Amino acid sequence: MKMRILIKAIIIWLFLCPSVFAESQQASGVTAQVVIDRARYYLAGTGDSFWTDATEMLSYVNAGIAEIANTTKCLESTEVETLQTGVTRYAISSTYFSIERAVYSGATTADDANNFKGLTRTDIQTIGHGADVGEPVQFYVWDDSFYVDPKPSSAVSGYTVTLYLAERPTDIALTAAVPTPAAYDDALVLFVAFRAAIKDRQWVKAAQLQALYERTVSLHFGRFQAIKGGKP
């Protein structure tokens, strides 16, 4: 009963929060062990031997980090590709979920004198149908490779395209800090708690915790999208 009242209270608080305001995307520095300890409080099983298997609980932490990062694109990274004459395909070496943006940097040959130009994401069927201006105008991604169109001419060889990636995190140890932003700490705790509740066959509690997890992620994702200029 107490758990049900607590979850209802948190959900009401989430709905009453303002829909848009700036938040830091810096990680809080809490460790995986701290996340597990907090999840055990949700389960009311801090001293229960059923939850002392840190290895299994740690697998839930890593699964939660990956899901939050994939859903929200909150782990941001970049990779720089150096253009070569006549080369359209460049292998992506970073671990990533998606390429969100691409920006060409170098002397431009069309439109204006700005040395930085955002590339338009396109479908593979559109390549080769535009004017050949000698520098990248659009891009697409396939099989972990980045493609530019039109082909780079010798005039832009050596210039670069910066890829803006949604990074895929690697697994962490119990004593390591979680890499996701601090705003998602409680969501990660809820993820671990509902996965553990499923193992314990606490179906009602698992469903409640999962719903709260999804609502928490949705709330913060909407805020970050608004900050970046998208619709929450």
pLDDT tens-digit map of 77-119: 999 999 999 999 999 999 999 999 999 998 655 555 668 899 9
What are 168-215's pLDDT values in tens digits? 999 999 999 999 999 899 999 999 999 999 988 889 999 999 999 999
38 — phi, psi (to 5°)?
Answer: -70, -35
Distant-in-sequence, close-in-space partners of 219: CB < 8 Å, separation ≥ 6 = 14, 17
Relative to beta strand 89-91, strand 116-118 is unpaired
> Do residue 56 and residue 97 come from a single domain?
no
To which residue do tokens 């130009």 refer? 117
Q: What pTM was computed for the model? A: 0.78
Domain count for the chain: 2
Instruction: For residue 195, give its domain range.
Output: 2-73+172-227
Nearest alpha carbon to residue 81 among 30, 145, 26: 145
> Do residue 157 and residue 196 come from a single domain?
no
In a domain, 232, yes or no: no
Last residue of one domain, picked from the residues 167, 190, 213: 167
Last residue of one domain, picked from the residues 167, 182, 198: 167
> Do residue 162 and residue 179 come from a single domain?
no
> Do residue 180 and residue 163 come from a single domain?
no
> Do residue 124 and residue 155 come from a single domain?
yes
> Do residue 60 and residue 87 come from a single domain?
no
Q: Measure the CA–CA gap between 64 and 174, rounded to whole angstroms.
A: 14
> Do residue 177 and residue 151 come from a single domain?
no
Nearest alpha carbon to residue 195 among 122, 142, 107, 187: 187
What are 134-177's pLDDT values in tens digits? 889 999 999 999 999 999 999 999 999 999 999 999 999 999 99
Dihedral sign from CA coordinates of 28, 78, 107, 137: negative
